[in-house]
């Protein structure tokens, strides 16, 4: 404290501290002063602004910070801001002369790259800025299509020395929870001496970047007015993460005689005001309704369908598990579900693996919040083209549309009493769609990559598909009783081929119509249906 008071009184900058080294104290002080200059500790900027990643960066502004992170076991946590998976540092050596010269403020980009690569495999000095950006470029941007957003907490609060690491972690956690990344202040001209900045793979965040994360809140009460009161309180105030955590804890268990229930999905806008994305309140009896998961089929894919979902840790973890399986096959599932390229799903393989991966990950999310299905039902999909085919969705049930279809067209999917999917040669499908539309009947072609699924036109694929399936599914497993088949007629469900998840079962899926309407008649009245799809 005495040294700081003296430096303050004399209006001098730089490190100030007391040294006790007997008769050599003055020489030790001289040596430490030299080391501080060589390591850049004296390189204060002239205007008090830390210009991280700017062409005109001219040093730092020192500041102080007290930062606290509360750690506890996941199972005991009432509120999880982030899950700590792995911690490692490559700069924990003592402050000797060699360390200060090599690691003071300058970082060797090759060493940072090696450290970052090793870390992820296991789990505003001008030169410093460039070295950091070069390391980011090497580790995160080799094949990147969407820009890597880079900001700097130092530009907002100054260089806090030993506390900088925690401040960076807190910034990331705050950004993840709120969907807002703080702007990189004092960066009027981002430096252009890093290739990834010039070609757009790295983007310096120059203004507040907002990408709101929605929050689901479920409430119960004896009366609807009680539910409405809680939801209105959320809507009329800024979102409070602790309040939402408390509400989840209170209402996660069923409360007797709480017949009024409701939910809301809320997010924060750019001004941090609460937006209501969806809300519903109603009265319900206490009968436990069966829960059905309904899985979509071909046609539900869309460009960038996984971008926002990847912000959900459970979802992202499931996608990465899929990625480990698909990467050796040359398939980048993360790129498929996050790419903004409109031609991504022109490749039918991308559509299949994309939809399936999304459904696997969404199922994990639902299971994590306590929604386990009593039954499952879905549309099925397979591939292998033999003609230039097409498919179309029409607003008539199987019984009606089957009487109108030309002989070349098959009813591929019996979706419901007023919905079917047709399959056949492209030209004939297109002509029939025009005829139905002219009669005032809903009809629209479905994106299917020119493959006429579930029709006679892919019959030749059967033997090939069966052989490939038998090589993969060598020991068929008994299908779960919760799995309701949509490709086997009800009267044949107890036959051996229908009881097992075998190559024969999935070959039958490929070649025959999807009997969704017939299977859905087995859904109990009052059941709750959750569609699991990229919509």
Contacts 24+ apart (CB under 8 A), 309-312: 309/337, 309/358, 309/361, 309/362, 310/334, 310/337, 310/338, 311/176, 311/211, 311/213, 312/365
In the predicted structure, residue 8 carries a pLDDT above the cut 80? no
Task: Give me the percent of the chain exceeding a pLDDT of 90.
Answer: 21
Lowest mean pLDDT of 260-264, 333-337, 482-486, name the range: 482-486
3-state secondary structure of 242: helix
Q: C-alpha 355: how far from its chain's center? A: 14
Q: For 142-182, what is each residue's pLDDT tens digit?
A: 878 888 888 888 888 887 777 888 888 888 888 777 767 77
Give the integer Cα–Cα distance in Å for 221 and 5: 61
Give the residues across from 275 on adjacent strands.
Answer: 267
Q: For 519-528, what is each residue's pLDDT tens digit?
A: 888 888 888 8
Q: What is the pLDDT of residue 121?
A: 46
User: How would residue 430 be classed by pLDDT, with cut points 50, 70 and 90?
Assistant: very high
> Mean pLDDT over residues 247-261, rounded?
87
For residue 242, report the phi and psi dihedrals to the nearest 5 degrees.
-70, -40
Which residue ranges form the domains of the chain, and what is each CATH number?
2-39 (no CATH), 74-210 (3.40.47.10), 215-286 (no CATH), 293-378 (3.40.366.10)
Query: What are the helix (H) ranges across 405-502?
Result: 426-438, 461-472, 496-499
Contacts 24+ apart (CB under 8 A), 429-432: 429/389, 429/390, 429/391, 429/392, 430/390, 432/392, 432/405, 432/406
> Mean pLDDT over residues 245-270, rounded?
87
For residue 103, count CB atoms less than 10 angstroms from its CB and return exposed for 0-12, middle for 13-18, buried for 19 or more: middle
In the predicted structure, residue 68 carries a pLDDT above the cut 50? yes
- On whether the pTM is more than 0.75, the answer is no
411 with 375: CB under 8 angstroms?
no
Report the 10 Å Cβ neighbour count for 132.
Answer: 20
Q: For 183-218, what is each residue's pLDDT tens digit?
A: 888 888 888 888 888 898 988 888 766 666 788 899
The two tokens of residue 84 are 């700590």
């Amino acid at each position: 404290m005495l040294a700081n008071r003296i430096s303050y009184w004399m209006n001098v900058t730089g490190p100030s501290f007391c040294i006790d080294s007997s008769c050599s104290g003055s020489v030790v002080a001289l040596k430490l002063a030299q080391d501080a200059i060589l390591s850049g500790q004296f390189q204060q900027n002239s205007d008090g602004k830390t210009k991280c990643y700017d062409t005109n960066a001219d040093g730092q502004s020192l500041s102080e910070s007290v930062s606290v992170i509360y750690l506890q076991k996941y199972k005991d946590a009432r509120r999880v801001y982030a899950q700590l998976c792995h911690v490692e540092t490559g700069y924990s050596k003592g402050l000797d002369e060699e360390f200060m010269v090599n690691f003071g403020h300058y970082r060797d980009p090759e060493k940072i790259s090696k450290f970052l690569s090793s870390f992820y495999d296991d789990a505003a000095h001008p030169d410093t800025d460039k070295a950091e950006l070069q390391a980011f470029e090497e580790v995160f941007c080799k094949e990147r299509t969407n820009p890597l957003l880079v900001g700097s907490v130092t530009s907002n609060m100054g260089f806090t020395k030993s506390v900088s690491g925690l401040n960076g972690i807190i910034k990331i956690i705050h950004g993840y929870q709120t969907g807002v990344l703080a702007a990189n202040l004092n960066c009027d001209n981002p430096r252009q001496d890093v290739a990834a900045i010039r070609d757009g793979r790295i983007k310096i965040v120059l203004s507040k970047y907002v990408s709101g994360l929605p929050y689901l809140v479920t409430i119960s009460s004896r009366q609807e007015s009680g539910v409405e009161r809680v939801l209105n309180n959320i809507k009329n105030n800024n979102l409070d993460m602790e309040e939402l955590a408390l509400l989840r804890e209170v209402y996660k268990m069923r409360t007797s005689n709480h017949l009024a229930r409701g939910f809301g999905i809320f997010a924060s806008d750019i001004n941090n005001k609460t937006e209501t994305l969806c809300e519903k309140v109603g009265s319900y009896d206490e009968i436990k309704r069966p829960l059905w998961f309904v899985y979509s089929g071909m046609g539900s894919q869309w460009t960038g369908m996984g971008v926002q979902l990847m912000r959900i840790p459970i979802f992202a973890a499931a996608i990465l598990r899929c990625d480990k399986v698909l990467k050796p096959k040359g398939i980048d599932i993360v790129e498929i579900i996050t790419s903004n390229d409109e031609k991504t799903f022109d490749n039918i393989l991308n559509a299949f693996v994309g939809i399936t991966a999304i459904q696997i990950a969404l199922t994990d999310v639902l299971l994590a919040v306590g929604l386990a299905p009593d039954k499952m039902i879905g549309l099925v999909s397979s591939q292998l083209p033999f003609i230039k085919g097409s498919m179309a969705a029409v607003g008539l049930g199987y019984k009606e549309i089957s009487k109108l279809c030309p002989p070349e067209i098959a009813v591929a999917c019996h979706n419901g009493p007023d919905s079917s999917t047709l399959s056949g040669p492209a030209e004939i499908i297109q002509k029939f769609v025009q005829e139905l539309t002219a009669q005032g009947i809903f009809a629209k072609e479905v994106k299917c990559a020119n493959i006429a699924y579930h029709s006679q036109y892919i019959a030749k694929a059967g033997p090939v598909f069966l052989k490939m399936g038998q090589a993969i599914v060598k020991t068929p497993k008994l299908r779960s009783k919760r799995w309701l088949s949509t490709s086997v007629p009800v009267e044949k469900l107890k036959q051996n081929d229908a009881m097992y998840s075998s190559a024969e079962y999935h070959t039958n899926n490929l070649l025959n119509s999807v009997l969704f309407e017939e299977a859905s008649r087995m859904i109990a009245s009052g059941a709750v249906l959750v569609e699991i799809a990229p919509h």
